[in-house]
Amino acid sequence: MLPAANLLADATSPYLLQHAHNPVHWRQWGPAALAEARERDRPILISIGYAACHWCHVMAHESFENEETAALMNKLFVNIKVDREERPDIDHIYMTALHALGEQGGWPLTMFLAPDGSPMFGGTYWPPEPRWGRPSFRQILHAVDKAWAEKRQALLSQGDNLKAFLAEMSAPKGGGAVGPDDLSAIAAAYLRQVDPVHGGLGAAPKFPNAPIFRFLWNEAFRASDQAAKAATRKLLVSLCQGGIYDHLGGGFARYSVDAEWHVPHFEKMLYDNAQIFELLALAHADAPDLLFAERAEETFGWLMREMRVGDKRRFAFAASQDADQAGGEGSYYTWTAEEIDAALGADSAAFKAAYDVRPEGNWEDRNVLRRTLARSGDGAAEARLAESREKLFALREKRPKPALDDKILADWNGLMIAALARAASFAFAPACLDAARRAFAFIDETLRDDQGRLVHAWRAGRVGAAGMLDDYASMARAALALFEATGERAYFGRAVVLVEEAQDRFGDADGSFFITARDAADLPAARPRHAHDGATPSGVGLIAEVFARLHHLTGEPRWRRDCERLIAAFAGGRETLAQSPLLLAAADFLERAAIVVVAGDPGDARATALAEVALASPDPAICLLRTVDGADWPETSPAHGRVPIDGAPAGYLCRGSTCSLPVTTAESLGALISRR
């Protein structure tokens, strides 16, 4: 049996290390903790959260740091802490079980398990004393212990039922192909949920829902749906001007507690910023907008300044920045009017008017900066506002900074690498591409286990959780983005290797994929399998896009077959298909994509100009393929047989085996793409 002590000190996760000095006898998830529960004949209390989670910190301070509460937990339960970012598979299993119990999900996730890990009962945050109509955490502990003593069989039966439900949820629900009518109906349903005033979906709390808007952006080009395009641009404008954006340091917070994007939960997640960055690039490519360009450049600055882990040559990006500081939630980011006056002097009035700074504060006696006055067109006035932001940023840098969760996650880095690689429409694109290259190399070389397999998490020289489907799919997608951005065949080769490894480790005979590898040994229920996008894209949606892109780049039938089988494996649950917007976008990509082939010497500036036209296309269903003379790709590829014209690099627009006549100017190629 494990010692009666807190055992988190040797964890790699910053979230677990935050709890290493709790009086709770925390264990890490694994066979040893389950064995202890069996030996003690005690239920398991599993607490799942993440380092930047505000309510996780609140519950920790109120309950897990309390000696009396900790003693009760230690007496009655085997207590396990899990970082949901390090073990999304475990989090998915128990969050699904909580939903099956009719409870609303969220973090901290607090579940009570049978000794074998079967879920029996759960919730999210419980206060230290009864309030808001909720019992106290200690009352919950006593109630579960009483039920374990007096109604054990009922609890175990519920656990068995929940495990059966989890197995049913993990079973594939095969169906037919996804067609245009499906896409249009789902897009229309999403558009009915759009907030026409403030942008985004629904009311408070409001999340960016980037996968949904990425699907709507795709619909804008598939179906010429101007409402879908307008909804996406409205969202981006609201995000860029609202308090959810850090107007001094760059970067977007996770969500807004109100419907106006005014007051965020202040944590900044790598995955949100990656997906928003890519949407900004697509929207700016479609209709250049100074607001989008500025926010993208500022966010890139934040990424390189705050999130880079490693040195200038070898680095990847950290998972998140915390919401909480010593002065309370948001104290790092917020200001009083007096602080603004003292810092800016004569420029204070203009800044306060532009950023909604009020004497009484616009949130809890302080001010969350948000841009409420549109750009005036007065260049001198905007320059003074920029100088004011720089002064305030310099002052803010002297405050205690939010904690950084510096673990490196392969899947989230893959999202950011792909976004950076596809930022061709921005003036600072070369810097983005260089960062994408370096981060990809770091992940591909460093996040490896002792068998050379990709892992999910890494921190301070130590490997964390094993690789999952999302990691392989996201990094394969990133490799293809780098291949198209650079023309370097090595990236293409890496994508193919990652996909084939994913098929071997996560694939099922019906063409679907599990989240966890076939040799995963510490799961408490059936291997989870789903295609639903949440705040982060599902690995299924990502790998479906990779299959479709590989098919169009190579012309190989196997990739089309794999993509079709994958979509069909998850298309049977028509009522839940809308929860998989990126799988839907991949289905369209498979049928609609066009390939721009640039033939010619890759060192020729004219070939580069042609390639840049394709890379800057706002239509997500455009692929780029380079060839020297049409002979360096197999016969199935659209690049085969495409040659320069009279010694000049030429561009072709291809769909399947049919290509346009060659053009030799960027303007002509741009016109071809626009007319397609």
Residue 512, both tokens: 């679907």
β-partners of residue 627 are 599
Q: What is the pLDDT of residue 326?
A: 66
**Nearest-CA neighbor of 240 among 252, 224, 248?**
252
Terminal CA-CA length for the chain: 67
Contact 653, 593 (CB under 8 A): no
In Å, how far are 354, 455, 482 from 598, measured between CA atoms? Answer: 46, 36, 16
In sign, the C-alpha dihedral spanning 331, 337, 342, 344 is: positive
The two structure tokens encoding residue 346? 């004569």
Q: What is the pLDDT of residues 335-354, one digit of tens each?
A: 999 999 999 999 999 999 99
Q: Would residue 106 be called left, alpha or beta, if left means φ above 0 and alpha means ψ between -120 and 50 degrees?
A: left
Fold classified for 180-324+404-592: Glycosyltransferase (1.50.10)
Please list the residue range(s) of the chain that carry CATH number 3.40.30.10: 14-170
What beta strand segments (E) does 59-135 contain?
A: 78-83, 109-113, 119-123
Nearest Cα to Cα of residue 76 among 141, 143, 147, 132: 141
DSSP 3-state of 264: strand
Q: What is the per-residue pLDDT across 93-139, written as a single tens digit (0 to 9) for each? A: 999 999 998 888 889 999 999 999 999 999 999 999 998 778 999 99
Q: Choose among 123, 101, 118, 114: nearest CA to 167.
A: 118
Instruction: Spell out the residues 6+ positions from residue 109 whose beta carbon is closer than 8 angstroms to its own.
Output: 46, 47, 48, 49, 84, 91, 94, 95, 98, 122, 124
Low-confidence ranges of the chain (pLDDT < 50): none
Q: What own/partner pairs with CB < 8 Å and gap ≥ 24 does 439-444 have?
A: 439/315, 439/316, 439/317, 439/413, 440/475, 440/478, 440/479, 440/482, 440/491, 441/314, 442/310, 442/314, 442/315, 442/316, 442/408, 443/316, 443/408, 443/410, 443/413, 443/414, 443/417, 443/475, 444/475, 444/494
The two three-digit tokens of residue 643, written as one number = 């040659």
At 327 the pLDDT is 61
Q: Helix or strand or coil: residue 451?
A: coil
| Angle ∠(500,632,478) on CA atoms, nearest 5 | 40
Q: Return residue ranges of the chain for CATH 1.50.10.10.
A: 180-324+404-592
Query: What backbone torsions phi and psi does residue 172 show, to the nearest 5 degrees?
Result: -65, 150
| Residue whose pair of structure tokens reads 């128990």 in the numeric block | 94
- Taking a C-beta distance cutoff of 8 angstroms, is the pair 280, 292 a contact? yes
Instruction: Tell me if the bond preceding 430 is cis, omega within 30° of 0.
Output: no
CATH top-level class of 594-675: alpha beta
* Pairwise CA distance, residues 582 & 105, whole Å: 22
The residue assigned the tokens 């499906």 is 182
Domain 14-170, classified CATH 3.40.720.10, yes or no: no
Strand 255-256 relative to strand 264-265: parallel, antiparallel, unpaired?
antiparallel
Indicate the SS3 state at residue 582: helix
pTM of the complete model = 0.95
CA–CA distance, 177 with 334 (Å, rounded to integer): 50
Q: For CA atoms 656, 657, 658, 661, give the dihedral sign.
A: positive
